[in-house]
Amino acid sequence: MAKDAAPTLTGSYPIDTGLAEIESDPYGANRYILKVNGVPSSHVDLDDPGYLDFEYMRWMEPIFLEGYPPEDYDGRARKLRVLHLGGGGCSMARWVASRYENARQVVVELDAKLAELVRTNFQVPRAPLVRLRVGDAVQVLPTLSENSRDVVIRDVFAGSTTPRQLTTVGYARHAQRVLDAGGVYILNCGDTADLAGARAEAATLLSVFKHVALIADPPMLKGRRYGNIVFLAGDEPLALGPAFERSLRTAPLPAQLVSGAAVARFAGSAAPIED
């Protein structure tokens, strides 16, 4: 998309679930903010798919780069396989495509008109590199093949919260089944200052996976505000070495890693979310 196309790109668009808006980012040329029903959903840089603006997405970068070094994926015999539950503006899918040659990605998006709007305007690579699948993430994940993905990202919101059906023990087990050996389940959890939802998600993941960690900025972990917590879960040790933690500390919004026994302490007395 050429830079002079901005006036026709921005605007309001009716979608199946309400209204989408594309706004120009005043701090960057050819950068746009996608809002869905008034809530910021995604940020896209059309000149640089490797640029991520949302902090929680920046915290996901080292999960990929440390756990799945791009040099280990030649794009021929070995392709990174990523499933995105929740589409939005496909910011993470564009980022993965820019880092991993010939990666194979599927983005599940409930809203067909939103998926078409994003495909048309945001330079999302075409299938088979990125396949946009219209459907309900609750229903799609259980239908996928066992051991078929290296990474599964859950980033689904209805307003400011994730639908309960995507937070249960049963849903986590479906993610576990779909992941291949060494795979990681990445979840974006939005929560209020009381952290009740995040603690329940932690308890849920601990009941299913052998290894669980979480990332958030310190004020969020201290219960001072609403914000995002990124969870990581897998059945093999997570790649959380010094380089991983350093990248979090030096992020524009520095983040804290909670791993090992500290995750159980974070969960406290919260019970897993049952189906």
Within a domain: residue 196?
A: yes
Query: pLDDT at residue 4 above 70?
Result: no
Q: How far apart are CA 109 and CA 13, in angstroms?
A: 16
- CB-count exposure of residue 215 (10 Å: 0-12, 13-18, 19+): buried
Within a domain: residue 91?
A: yes
Within a domain: residue 217?
A: yes
Q: Give the residue numbers spanning the domain of 125.
A: 49-267
Within a domain: residue 23?
A: no
Q: How confident is the model at residue 3 (pLDDT cuts 50, 70, 90)?
A: very low
Calculate the average pLDDT of the chain: 94
| Mean pLDDT of the 31-54 span | 95
Q: How confident is the model at residue 158 (pLDDT cuts 50, 70, 90)?
A: confident
Q: What's the CATH code of the domain at 196?
A: 3.40.50.150
Within a domain: residue 30?
A: no
Looking at the chain, the whole-number percentage of residues with pLDDT higher than 90 is: 87
| Mean pLDDT of the 197-211 span | 98
- State residue 1's pLDDT score: 43
Within a domain: residue 174?
A: yes
Residue matched to tokens 């890693």? 257
Pick the more confident residue, 50 or 87: 50
- Sign of the torsion formed by the C-alpha atoms of 210, 168, 184 and 254: negative
Half-sphere exposure of residue 212, counting CA atoms within 13 Å on the CB side?
Answer: 24
Number of domains into which the chain is organized: 1
Within a domain: residue 9?
A: no
Query: pLDDT at residue 108 above 80?
Result: yes
Q: How confident is the model at residue 29 (pLDDT cuts 50, 70, 90)?
A: confident
Looking at the chain, the whole-number percentage of residues with pLDDT higher than 70 is: 97
Query: pLDDT at residue 161 above 90?
Result: no
The beta strand positions in the chain, using DSSP E, are: 11-15, 18-24, 31-36, 39-45, 81-85, 104-109, 130-134, 149-154, 179-191, 211-216, 227-234, 256-259
Query: pLDDT at residue 53 above 70?
Result: yes
Query: pLDDT at residue 140 above 90?
Result: yes
**Residues 233-254: tens digit of each pLDDT:** 999 999 998 999 999 998 888 9
Q: How confident is the model at residue 195 (pLDDT cuts 50, 70, 90)?
A: very high
Q: Rg for the chain (alpha carbons), in Å?
A: 18
Within a domain: residue 150?
A: yes
Q: Which helix (H) or strand (E) holds 64?
A: helix 55-67
- State residue 5's pLDDT score: 41
- State residue 2's pLDDT score: 44
CA angle 227, 218, 49 (to 5 degrees): 60
Query: pLDDT at residue 87 above 90?
Result: no
